[in-house]
Structure 1
Amino acid sequence: MQEVVARRAHDSDVTIDVIREEVEDLLHARYGKEFGDPAAVATLLPSRSTFYLRMKESGLADALDRPTRARAALASTPPLPHGGREAILRPGQVTQADTTPLRILAHGDDGRPTATEMTSLIDVANHNMCALMITPSRPRDAESGQAGQATRAIDLTLMLAQALAPWPVMPGWDPLSAAAASSLPFGALRAADERFTEATAARPVIRPELIVYDQGSPYVSEHFNEVCDRLRIARRPARKKTPTDKPLAENFFTTLAHRFSQYVRHGWQGRSHKKRGRGIDRMPLYTIAELQQMAQEWVALEYQQTPDAGLRDPFRPHVVLSPNDMYAVQVARSGYRAVPLSPAQNRFFLLPRWVTPARAAS
């Protein structure tokens, strides 16, 4: 089934019935001798209802409904070594980072409306949000028509610093956004890390071991790579035009738009310029700092505590877990070690700048 669906990745979409007929033709071509035995025929050719069920369980039925570009990207993903999936079992083992326009106007430092973009770092093992940064974006490029990206290397390093420390519960946040009120193993985390207090948000501290990142210029900058080397964080670039290399990071922005961005009434621009409301730039807009706090509260209160169909307890596969639930299961096996950074180590996140002192300063 996977082979036939992959063959049709660049073709126009078809129904599952067509896939079933082509699978039968393929089986007849490969196992012609076996088809002389009625018992073998029953084994090789499942019933129509069973075929539909297997297509749905394997995700191939959903793949058929995707746009041609998405199906082609999925088919271009090479098989992993030994024909198996990469085993990701512990927090921080593999993380994914990406930057995308937020489609929310903010009140800029100059008093004018400014477009924004978000960079997120998400853990693959448990879908936890390690860190997120909202920054102003450059104006749209006149030649290409694409929105410019203004995320810099310093923003990425500050995102790493954010990932390595607990989030505080800010004034005005919902009390349920606190770690003590969540499914996180708060008592064990507090005993292992003194930074966890009653005012810590419901989002665990996860130290990345490997970051799969976009090939944007900030990710390949000297400063970002130097900070990652100091923290002993490995990097792996995603291939161009291959969103399947970092699917969680790609899908998170859709989740963000559906569950957070569209509820920001002052500044939400809609999913496309054709659906943009009128007079948005004349509204009383939030500052970027306010949007950052709103996004972090949403992560701690809703995203981290909402069951995710892709997260299952290995001992109870019928139970759907939230990112915090999954982290609690994994950290019980892998353990947690607090690694707070000293003030001297925190200074390495900042971008150095060499200056020549003037005579008046001597």
Structure 2
Amino acid sequence: MHFHILGAGAIGLWTGYHLRRHGHRVTLLLRSEEAVAAFRQLNSIRLVAAHDGSGRVSEATDVEAEVATRIRSPIDRLMVTTKAHQTSDAFADVHRWLTEHSSVILLQNGMGVREQLLERYYQATAPMPRFAHGITSMGCMRAGVNEVVHTGNGLFCFGPASDEQAEQASDNLRGTLVALHELALDPDYPSPVDAATIHVHMLAKLAVNACINPVTALLGCSNGQLYEQPYGRSMLTDICSEVARLLRVATSGTSPPAAPFHFPPFTAAQKATFDDAALLQRVLAVCGQTAGNRSSMLVDIEAGRTTEIDFINGYLVRLGQALNCATPLNSLLQKLVHTRTSISNG
């Protein structure tokens, strides 16, 4: 199979490495001729194993790279690993090379990217590819144009974007999802999951990020520093309670959200993920387990970059508006992060 990867950051390189090691053809879609020239000096992806303390270095060779604007042939399988807020513009370079038989796999933080792409590119008669979502909590860090450091294991699974997409899935999409799970990076998920399962994982990760990332970004602290402070834990509890209440309404099935917030039916066990106590336990566990980490939102602010706040807390605010469910804390966090970003950028 031939996979194009849009977004050669840590997750893009890490996924490309494993796909190539499993015999698939991999083409990284980069922003500039300079980036392509730098990558082509080696034409490989180096992975450093730091998660097991070995520091072992291995390579996936014969990895291709091309400037996204130079693509001139149909794309069968597109992995999208760009930052959520960068995806819509980056997609402009490749969407014309996607057909109704193509598969697009979104592997990103936050939610709402697929809906944004559908609104911008597929309102008229353009052939629409089949979409699927991926989620990972693997720890990895980009260490160079072709090097990624694997810092920790975690969740790695994929599923169709909706029940409708699952029913209409082409052989391309089915084969793509199977190939991704054959990488065997997560023994708990040896095969693709259904739309409800992937959405539960996405919503749970969104909830964790919505509680931790903006607070650490605003306070300029590590996850552990937030976790250790009584007032910090109190803030996490309050934010988590608001998020849990919203997600219980969203997943209840009793009042389907207005477009574009369409979720598949969830089982009782899946809905229980968003009980107050269960969700808070998840948030505090992640905060404690990643005590030494500095959130990507904090790193982005310090580097003067746009954050993913609109696809994390902002997504929850929009969902709350669609459900007539108030989200004052998430709305405040979204505004504060935007203000902090503007101040940091002068």
Is the TM value for this pair above 0.5?
no
TM-score, normalised by the number of residues in structure 2: 0.27
Q: Whose Rg is larger?
A: 1
| Higher relative strand content | 2
Pick the structure with more helix per residue: 2
